[in-house]
Amino acid sequence: MFDSFFFSYQSLIFAVGINGLLALSMYTVLAVGQLSVGQAAFMGLGAYVSTLLTLDAHWPFVAVLLAAMVVPALAALLIGGPTLKLTGVYLALATIALGEILRIFCNASDLTGGALGLSGIPNKTSFGLIFGLLALALLGFVMVARSKLGRAMEAMREDEVAAGVMGVNLPAMKLGALVVSAMLAGLAGALNAHANSFIGPNDYGFDQAVTILSFALLGGIGSPFGPVLGAIILTVLPELLTALHDFKLVVNGLIIVIAVLFMPRGLLVWRIGRVG
Amino acid sequence: MSAVAPTLLDVQDLTVRFRGLVAVDHVSFTVEPGTVHGLIGPNGAGKTTCFNLISGLIPPTSGHVSLAGTALDGLPSWKRTRAGLSRTFQNIRMFQEMTVRENVMTGMQSRLQASVPEILGRLGRFRPEEQAAKVRADELLEFVGLAASADRRAGDLPYGDQRRLEIARALGSEPKLLLLDEPAAGMNPAETQDLVGLLNRLKQGGLTLLLVEHDMHFVMSLCDRITVLNFGRKIAEGSPREIREDPAVIEAYLGAKVAEKLKGGTA
Amino acid sequence: MFAQILQQLPQQLLNGLVLGSTYALFALGFTLMFGVLGVINLTYGFYFTTGAFLALYGTKLLALPIWAALPGAAVLTGLIAILFDAALLTPLRRKKAPELASLMVTLGATLLLYSLMTASFGTEIRRLPPAVISHAAYTFGTVRVNLSQILIMVTTVLIVAALLALIRGTRFGLSMRALAENGEAAQLMGVNTDAVVRMVSFISGALGSTAGVLIGLNFNAIQPYMGETMMLKGFAVIIIGGLGDIKGALIAGIVIGVLEVLTAGFISSNIKDSVGFILLVATLWFRPVGLFGRAPVKRA
């Protein structure tokens, strides 16, 4: 019974786990009061790097996953280094630019298969791997939340100036958050590529970036569980209500508007404690 | 006791211009350790701007600030906090969503040493340090009289309590110098009286205070030394008694005419 | 080989100038909104699409001539821009929400609007009726230029001049600068800030729409997502030019346009679109205030 359920919904279940990781990657940045529109680009970097290493270089999967985290982290340093010293708007705009550069490059380059993308990627993922990594990431976030880092993050989100006066190392926190978020998104991208056998340059554009943001805002960022809840809802719901499927992007956009204007805490209003 | 204690805060020729307007104009003064130093002046005299310059929230056009002999020039606010400076804000800047205790523990940011792996694995320094921080936070809350509110949401506290919480939070970093920007603003007389007691206890504990305040009675009863600013310039400095009798100060506060009359009356 | 390049250069430069003018024209309203209202309003790209579609239906269904369709579309889009600002950004302004909240809300609205547009109009490319504008080309030596290209360059110059005159020379411009400097102080000084916000939204909407119509004319290709592509270029233009800087946007737009055309002509057309973004990243590293920016980029 469970087996047949699992079989028919395998790709949906995998998508839930992968989107959960993406939602956490978004949470990492939002939690320090920044906005990145580059999560899709980091994901795409992870997807392409991992696919090329699997198909062309035949690296073992563990090494592939590590590389899929390191490369987006380097991109995050490139983008975050200059922009995080400025107001938050600059990071948001620069991450959009990163996404565009990646999309243009992947569409143009032979290495990445151009507009056709890359196919025939062997499935090296499993339920255990995806959800194990998600659980591990969640555990890590809970540990961080209930510590001086969690307090520093929430302080930055509420009032960056006051957080600085408390002695919070603002540049390190911001850059750290962006790098961790890029690594998580890259990991999710690699898992996604190896779960779906195909990747294309237009899977990681603006729409996907905004969709990832809608996961986090729907669930709320009072705790790391909120974004994961948001990802689960927004991944499963369109599959259950097929009428919704065609308007997925409309709904995702609407959710962001409503969340920002009317429910800034999201669905999961519970706030995680900050004392370890 | 014959040795002169070194100056704690040294402000030299501090100047800042905003689009042609000179908000702070070549201001110099020093704060000696163990004293309560007042920074006063009429509205718009540049007191809060001075605080923002000293705590590193805005860069000066020129001038220098040093703390206990260490130059702070060019350092961002968080590094100044680590060097021993702490402050409160005129318009309270609480972390409203956090609890009262979490606010105070956030103030200890610079003192906590645990590394990321220690935090992730609950290893090494993490547990003892976090436990000690919690104990210390509760002591500080006890000290300012907010122990009973430790688990409340900070934004839900009444105004006067938020002011005291801000002081407790600023003490979390165990500063050498505490800057208080209008700590008595919006308090009723009883609350102000409590605050005077609290600040006196801090002084007895050896902490140095630099404060901006409008309530003259408060300033005169608490401060050992006072610096007066007007239109961004230092116009007087001295003991409360000297300041009270300084004609330039009276003129700045009451206007030239009243100062004339007062002079005429005493002559 | 070299002689051939030299021979093509004047035409390439002209094409770059035209393309750059469209970028500049588009970026003007965007940078104006940031300069005065302090928000990156991502729905701006949608005004571009809206203008093009309004002109399309005005000329097709109502058989309007282009000189009537263009200002008509500008006014209508300006009104839509006022509406969007009132619905999305005014509530956040009242709450004094952080700037990222306004960025996020317009990000969501953008996705919502484009998806709705695509759902109702499809993604196929629509064309203006051919009779709308003459496509005859004028030849100057080796350089060919057509009417819509001239129209784009002239309009861009006129609008930049008009904007600068408005900002520097009028009472309203003074109110705008006061609001840009400090909203609360402006209000205390008797500036009707709500009216300024509405007016700036209207002007931006009208500018976005005008850019959409002119670019629709020049490339004769109109579809819902045209605003999004343009928006991404717009980011590059306004950051390289300096956020809020009108003259900077003009020059940055033209620089990017010329470099793109030269890249396409002499290197590869596949990578021409990345020019602006690479310049953007370089600007952030080496000159984050933009080409001419002196404005503080960091708030205390």
What are the tens digits of pLDDT across the range A163-217?
999 999 999 999 999 999 999 999 999 999 999 989 999 899 888 999 999 999 9
- Token pair 């940055």 is found at C252
Disruptive mutation site among B57, B81, B87, B98 for chain A (greatest number of A CBs within 10 Å): B98
Q: In what order do the strands lie in the sheet with B225-230?
A: B85-87, B177-181, B208-212, B36-40, B225-230, B233-238
Q: Which chains touch B (3 or more CB pairs under 8 A)?
A: A, C
**Is the CB of B114 less than 8 angstroms away from the CB of A165?**
no
Residues of B in contact with C177 (CB under 8 A): none
| pLDDT score of C217 | 85
Q: How many residues does chain B have?
A: 267
Query: What's the gap in Å between the CA of B55 and the closest CA on chain A?
Result: 8
Which of A139-148, B121-130, C133-142, C276-285 has the weakest average pLDDT? C133-142
Any C CB within 8 A of B52 CB: yes
**Is the CB of C288 less than 8 angstroms away from the CB of A83?**
yes
| pLDDT score of C179 | 85
**Chain-centre distance of CA B139, in angstroms?**
21
d(CA C97, CA A119): 45
CA distances from residue A244 to A239, B67, C69 in whole angstroms, order as listed: 8, 62, 36
At A105, give phi and psi (nearest 5°).
Answer: -65, -50
Region label for B237, one of left (φ > 0), alpha (ψ between -120 and 50) or beta (otherwise): beta
Nearest to B129, CA basis, from C192, A226, A276, C38: A276
Nearest residue of chain A to residue C284 (CA atoms): A82
**Cβ within 8 Å of residue B224, ≥6 positions away:** B35, B36, B37, B239
What are the tens digits of pLDDT across the range C206-250?
999 999 998 888 888 888 888 888 888 888 898 899 888 888 899
Any C CB within 8 A of B58 CB: yes
Tokens of A180: 């961790």
Tokens of A244: 């919704």
Q: Are B92 and B185 in contact (CB under 8 A)?
A: no
Name B180's bridge partners: B211
**Is the CB of B110 less than 8 angstroms away from the CB of A158?**
no
Tens digit of each residue's pLDDT, chain B (267 residues): 445 568 999 999 999 998 778 899 999 999 999 999 999 998 888 999 999 999 999 999 999 999 999 999 999 999 999 999 999 999 999 999 999 999 999 999 999 999 999 999 999 999 999 999 999 999 999 999 999 999 999 999 999 899 999 999 999 999 999 999 999 988 889 999 999 999 999 999 999 999 999 888 899 989 999 999 999 999 999 999 999 889 888 888 877 666 666 665 443
Any B CB within 8 A of A120 CB: no
Query: What's the gap in Å between the CA of B244 and the closest CA on chain A?
Result: 33
Tens digit of each residue's pLDDT, chain A (276 residues): 567 777 778 889 999 999 999 999 999 999 999 999 999 999 999 999 999 999 999 999 999 999 999 999 999 999 998 888 888 888 988 898 888 888 888 988 889 998 899 999 999 999 999 999 999 999 999 999 999 999 999 999 999 999 999 999 999 999 999 999 999 999 999 999 999 989 999 899 888 999 999 999 999 999 999 999 999 999 998 888 877 777 888 999 999 999 999 998 999 999 999 998
| pLDDT score of C265 | 84
| pLDDT score of B1 | 44
| pLDDT score of C136 | 79
d(CA A182, CA A185): 5
| A111 SS3 class | coil
| Residue C1: pLDDT band with limits 50, 70, 90 | low
| B55 SS3 class | coil
**Cβ within 8 Å of residue A262, ≥6 positions away:** none
Burial of A33 (0-12, 13-18, 19+ CB in 10 A): buried
Of C88, C98, C228, the CB nearest to A257: C88
Q: Are C119 and A247 in contact (CB under 8 A)?
A: yes
What are the tens digits of pLDDT across the range C158-174?
998 998 899 888 888 88
| pLDDT score of C232 | 84
Name B10's bridge partners: B30, B66
| pLDDT score of B106 | 97
Using N-to-C axis directions, what is the helix angle for C99-121 and C44-60, rounded to 10°?
30
Tokens of B46: 């540049």
Q: What is the dihedral of CA C133, C258, C39, A26, to 10 degrees?
A: 110
Tokens of C286: 């080496």
| pLDDT score of C218 | 83
Give me the mean pLDDT over the C73-100 stretch: 92
| C141 SS3 class | coil
Query: What's the gap in Å between the CA of A231 and the closest CA on chain C?
Result: 16
Residues of A in contact with B126 (CB under 8 A): 147, 276
| pLDDT score of B57 | 95
Q: Are B24 and B58 in contact (CB under 8 A)?
A: no
Nearest to B236, CA basis, from B2, B34, B5, B39: B39
Q: Which chains touch A (3 or more CB pairs under 8 A)?
A: B, C
Nearest to A164, CA basis, from B81, B51, B168, B163: B81
Q: Are C156 and C24 in contact (CB under 8 A)?
A: yes
| pLDDT score of B267 | 39
What are the tens digits of pLDDT across the range C27-69?
999 889 988 888 889 999 999 999 999 999 999 888 888 889 9
**What average pLDDT is seen over chain C?**
87
The secondary element (H helix, E strand) that includes residue C244 is none
**Helices and strands, number each (H, E), in chain B:** 11, 10
d(CA A273, CA B99): 9
Q: What is the DSSP letter of B17?
A: E
Residues of A in contact with C105 (CB under 8 A): 256-257, 260-261
d(CA B158, CA B162): 6
Q: What is the DSSP letter of B7?
A: P
Q: Where are the alpha helices (DSSP H) in B153-229?
A: 159-171, 189-204, 216-222
| pLDDT score of B256 | 60
| Residue C280: pLDDT band with limits 50, 70, 90 | confident
Query: What's the gap in Å between the CA of A89 and the closest CA on chain C?
Result: 7
